[in-house]
């Protein structure tokens, strides 16, 4: 299979409430950063003609949310645009297919999400449930995560202290990342005794409300070097849908993530992920999810997430050196921020949080209650 | 010039529900499931053969966030790769174009695209569409998709009588086509001798746009199964080939409709570019059928000129001569078009689906008599966005 490159990325600084900019302004600012870095243009013989956007009608409170950004993603003047209406990591897989299909050879990808626009992101997540049974029960992504956290804690015997370690570490790394939202440093006690948000999830176990935007330029192998000397290759992609009904799943394990990872590893030709992978960006919206997703990615033994933390597994695999979701990323583009971080790491441009000798990154994202839908991307230098 | 596809992609299965104003006996996943089952049966395969599902709608109409998560009980996506890709009214064709890319890429061999809307649950489509406008600048001005601009431009160019008659003739022709299609939503049984009456008495919506000119608010789902050339040939006796497609977007606001900053319509740009890269010099001559996303009869007559790269009154003359009728030069909308049926996010998929059925000669009661080898389908959405797709009976265009 031919290769597809991510030539360059640009991230907007993540904040709890970017009140002084509309999301259009945020996207425009980072588009200009990316054009400055790569020199790409729109239109003409060799310019960008097709754009993939990532946004959400509910978070933007607009029907056809991509309509609102066509002007600032270069689509307005007779160019093509398609919206990935899932978490943005899926946009990487789709943009990759557009290039591999031969339909186009350069794609501009732009994602945005301002969680601060809604009074409550839980209210939006509640709307993801069917209007007959589950919505009236009040299900949302927080309380389904609470049910999953309880099941996972029962199964793995993971302790409050181990979960607190995940959060403390995330904040430590976030403090070195220019783009991270929540950098307040914590000690284990702060996390362990923070107020209960949704039992057993405590307030400091949950990702903070976040606004942000990410853009990147993808190109075919033939054209990538026009835009960078240092392309990062998308070598694996996979995603998988699990059952909508919690009762039909083993919620303490993630079969969807295992299948998504299997597809991505297979495409990348990775037989032993524990040997090949040396950087991970996992979408840990809640502290328990970091070890749980690492189990799903095959980097940690099933049910051993707690020991994995004590034995410095996250450090070994360079997990979430950006700070991850726990330091704040918008839900709909959490995975896209993961890609941006991994690209910088693989290019050796992550500055103060740069890992040593990394060449193979795995990025994971999830949508839906208790990780119903899972996506995995493999990037290599 | 056209870029060579990594591999060819064929349509092997088509399923659609009946289109109606209310589907109170089905919820969303049940409605989708009806079309999924029909498409699988049409392709003669089961869910096991599907490698990837692509789902899309405009979710604020049904007010379900990330609806593919719930809908998996009807889509059959359990344990499978899945994408949710949307645009606006163009969503249905975006789904087919995206599925074409996904198959052609080599990442998936068989992809099932699902487009639907259950607009009854929206209450008011016009309210939903108004919600697309910028909350600060345009939302208080927008009236959904209701606009008289197209009518005004046609009247200015061709005079009141000629323009109004042409729009009404197109509308009645669409109704006559819809009357032959058992799945069409609105089938009024209009006759050409009602033209004068309708031009005067159909309730006025905005300016010269009257109720009879405008598309319906419908419930329905459409599903198409696409496969790689190798699998398509194995699965289907009559695969229909997707030759090429193009998406052409314009700026966020509709200001260009009044103060043209860009000289061409997205319809003309899409047609010009798509035909040029495929070596089509005379589209009226080349295409045997055109399924057009015509949200109103006024847009219908305006866009026929644009899509076929015609000039002046050529397209309107063809309306007057009946050249777009079932036995005319290029039959337009044998399905009855969008003024008859409009479950929005399925609508733009119903267009290539209808073309494929015509090519296969499986359109049933509204099958064209002529042989259909080359088909064209359009989608419309957002702010004057166009998607255009070419479909072929034979896999021989590389030699053309």
Tell whether A215 and A344 lie within a shared domain.
Answer: no
| Percent of chain B residues topping a pLDDT of 70 | 96
Tell whether A109 and A38 lie within a shared domain.
Answer: yes
A354 φ, ψ (degrees, to nearest 5) = -65, 130
Asked if residues B101 and B95 have their Cβ atoms less than 8 Å apart, the reply is no
Nearest to B107 among A97, A132, A368 (CB): A97
Concatenating the DSSP letter of every residue in B145-175 gives: T---HHHHHHHHHH-HHHHHHHHHHHHHHHH
Whole-angstrom CA distances from B62 to A326, B65, B116, B135, B162 are 32, 9, 10, 20, 40
Tens-digit pLDDT profile for residues B24-65? 999 999 999 999 999 999 999 999 999 999 999 999 999 999
Indicate the SS3 state at residue A131.
Answer: coil
Whole-angstrom CA distances from B155 to B147, B151, B298, B385 are 14, 6, 10, 23
Structural domain contains residue A142? no
Residue A53: the pLDDT is 98
Which of A213, A298, A229, A178 is closest to A32 using CA atoms? A213
Asked if residues A93 and A239 have their Cβ atoms less than 8 Å apart, the reply is yes
Boundary residue ending a domain (A226, A251, A275): A226
Tell whether A239 and A371 lie within a shared domain.
Answer: yes
Q: Which two tokens stand for residue B119?
A: 């607009």
Distance between A256 CA and the closest CA of chain B, angstroms: 6
Residue B65: the pLDDT is 97
Structural domain contains residue A321? yes
Nearest to B79 among A98, A102, A240 (CB): A240
Give the H or E element holding residue B361: none
Tens-digit pLDDT profile for residues B86-129? 999 999 999 999 999 999 999 999 999 999 999 988 778 888 88
- Chain B residues lying within 8 Å of A79, measured CB to CB: 247-249
Tell whether A256 and A363 lie within a shared domain.
Answer: yes
Query: What CATH topology corresponds to B9-124+217-228?
Result: Peroxisomal Thiolase; Chain A, domain 1 (3.40.47)
- Chain A residues lying within 8 Å of B56, measured CB to CB: 85
Tell whether A73 and A220 lie within a shared domain.
Answer: yes
Range of the domain at A299: 233-380
Tell whether A360 and A277 lie within a shared domain.
Answer: yes
Distance CA B170, CA B43 (A): 34
Nearest to B262 among A77, A94, A102 (CB): A77
Domain with residue A262: its CATH number is: 3.40.47.10
Structural domain contains residue A335? yes
Task: Tell me the average pLDDT across B225-253.
Answer: 94
Tens-digit pLDDT profile for residues B243-264? 999 999 988 775 555 555 667 8
Global ipTM: 0.97
Q: Strands A50-54 and A80-84: what pairing?
A: parallel
Q: Strands A373-380 and A360-367: what pairing?
A: antiparallel
CB-based contact, A44 to chain B, within 8 Å: no
Distance between A282 CA and the closest CA of chain B, angstroms: 19
Q: CA B338: distance to chain centroid? A: 7
Which of B222, B265, B271 is closest to B244 using CA atoms? B271
Structural domain contains residue A157? no
Asked if residues B306 and B271 have their Cβ atoms less than 8 Å apart, the reply is yes
Tell whether A220 and A245 lie within a shared domain.
Answer: no
**Considering Cα of B175, then B180, then B183, then B187, what sign does the dihedral take?**
positive
Tens-digit pLDDT profile for residues B290-322? 999 999 999 999 999 999 999 999 999 999 999
Task: Tell me the average pLDDT across B78-82.
Answer: 98
Structural domain contains residue A218? yes
Which of B68, B79, B81, B77 is closest to B109 using CA atoms? B81
Cβ separation B53–A241 shorter than 8 A:
yes
Distance between A105 CA and the closest CA of chain B, angstroms: 10
CB-based contact, B344 to chain A, within 8 Å: no
Tell whether A277 and A219 lie within a shared domain.
Answer: no
Boundary residue ending a domain (A201, A226, A251): A226
Residues of chain A with pLDDT under 50: none
Tell whether A97 and A218 lie within a shared domain.
Answer: yes
Tell whether A366 and A244 lie within a shared domain.
Answer: yes
Total domains present in chain A: 2
Asked if residues B290 and B375 have their Cβ atoms less than 8 Å apart, the reply is yes
């Amino acid at each position: 299979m031919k290769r597809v490159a991510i030539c360059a990325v640009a991230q907007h600084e993540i904040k709890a409430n970017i009140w002084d900019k509309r999301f259009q302004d945020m996207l425009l600012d980072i588009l200009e950063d990316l054009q400055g870095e790569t020199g790409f243009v729109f239109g003409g013989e060799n310019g960008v003609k097709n754009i993939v956007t990532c946004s959400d009608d509910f978070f933007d409170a607009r029907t056809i949310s991509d309509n609102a950004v066509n002007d600032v993603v270069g689509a307005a003047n007779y160019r093509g645009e398609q919206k990935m209406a899932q978490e943005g990591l899926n946009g990487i897989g789709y943009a990759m297919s557009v290039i591999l299909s031969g339909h186009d050879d350069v794609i501009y990808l732009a994602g945005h999400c301002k969680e601060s626009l809604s009074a409550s992101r839980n209210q939006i997540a509640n709307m993801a449930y069917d209007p007959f049974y589950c919505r009236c029960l009040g299900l949302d992504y927080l309380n389904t995560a609470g049910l999953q956290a309880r099941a996972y804690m029962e199964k793995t015997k993971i302790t409050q202290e181990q979960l607190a370690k995940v959060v403390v570490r995330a904040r430590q790394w976030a403090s070195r990342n220019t783009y991270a939202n929540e950098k307040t440093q914590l000690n284990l006690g702060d996390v362990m005794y923070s107020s209960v948000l949704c039992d057993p999830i405590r307030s400091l176990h949950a990702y903070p409300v976040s606004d942000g935007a990410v853009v990147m330029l993808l190109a075919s192998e033939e054209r990538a070097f026009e835009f960078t000397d240092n392309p990062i290759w998308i070598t694996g992609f996979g995603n998988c849908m699990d059952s909508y009904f919690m009762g039909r799943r083993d919620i303490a394990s993630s079969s969807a993530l295992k299948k998504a990872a299997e597809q991505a590893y297979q495409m990348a030709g990775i037989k032993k992920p524990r040997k090949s992978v040396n950087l991970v960006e996992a979408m840990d919206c809640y502290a328990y999810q970091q070890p749980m997703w690492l189990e799903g990615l095959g980097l940690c033994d099933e049910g051993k997430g707690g020991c994995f933390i004590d034995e410095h597994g996250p450090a070994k695999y360079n997990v979430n050196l950006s700070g991850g979701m726990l330091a704040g990323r918008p839900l709909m583009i959490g995975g896209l921020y993961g890609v941006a971080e991994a690209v910088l790491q693989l290019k050796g441009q992550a500055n103060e949080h740069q890992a040593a000798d990394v060449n193979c990154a795995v990025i994971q994202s999830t949508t839906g209650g208790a990780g119903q839908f899972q996506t995995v991307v493999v990037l290599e230098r | 010039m056209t870029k060579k596809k990594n591999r060819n992609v064929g349509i092997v299965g088509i399923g659609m529900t009946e289109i109606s104003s209310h589907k109170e006996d089905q919820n969303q996943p049940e409605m989708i499931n009806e079309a999924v089952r029909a498409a699988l049966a049409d392709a003669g395969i089961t869910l096991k053969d599907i490698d990837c599902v692509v789902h899309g709608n405009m979710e604020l109409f049904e007010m379900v966030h990330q609806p593919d998560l719930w809908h998996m009980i009807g889509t059959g996506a359990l344990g499978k790769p899945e994408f949710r890709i949307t645009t606006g009214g163009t969503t249905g064709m975006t789904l087919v174009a995206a599925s074409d890319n996904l198959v052609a890429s080599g990442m998936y061999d068989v992809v099932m695209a699902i487009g639907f809307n259950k607009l009854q649950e929206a209450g008011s489509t016009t309210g939903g569409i108004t919600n697309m406008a910028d909350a600060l600048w345009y939302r208080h001005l927008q009236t959904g998709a209701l606009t008289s601009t197209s009518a005004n431009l046609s009247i200015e160019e061709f005079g009141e009588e000629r323009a109004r008659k042409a729009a009404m003739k197109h509308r009645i022709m669409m109704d006559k086509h819809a009357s032959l299609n058992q799945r069409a939503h609105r089938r009024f049984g209009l006759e050409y001798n009602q033209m004068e009456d309708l031009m005067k008495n159909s309730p006025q919506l905005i300016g010269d746009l009257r109720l009879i000119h405008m598309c319906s608010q419908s419930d329905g789902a459409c599903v198409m199964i696409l496969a790689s050339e190798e699998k398509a040939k194995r699965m289907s006796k009559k695969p229909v080939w997707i030759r090429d497609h193009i998406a052409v977007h314009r700026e966020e606001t509709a200001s260009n409709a009044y103060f043209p900053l860009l000289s061409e319509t997205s319809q003309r740009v899409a047609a010009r570019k798509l035909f040029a890269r495929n070596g089509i010099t005379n589209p009226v001559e080349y295409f045997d059928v055109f399924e057009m996303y015509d949200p109103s009869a006024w847009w219908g007559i305006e866009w026929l000129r644009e899509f076929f790269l015609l000039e002046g009154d050529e397209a309107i003359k063809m309306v007057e001569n009946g050249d777009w009728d079932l036995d005319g030069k290029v039959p337009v909308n044998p399905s009855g078009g969008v003024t008859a049926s409009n479950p929005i996010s399925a609508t733009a998929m119903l267009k290539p689906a209808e073309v494929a059925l015509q090519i296969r000669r499986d359109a049933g009661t509204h099958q064209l008599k002529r042989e259909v080898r080359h088909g064209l389908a359009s989608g419309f959405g957002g702010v004057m966005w166009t998607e255009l797709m070419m479909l072929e009976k034979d896999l021989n265009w590389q030699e053309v």
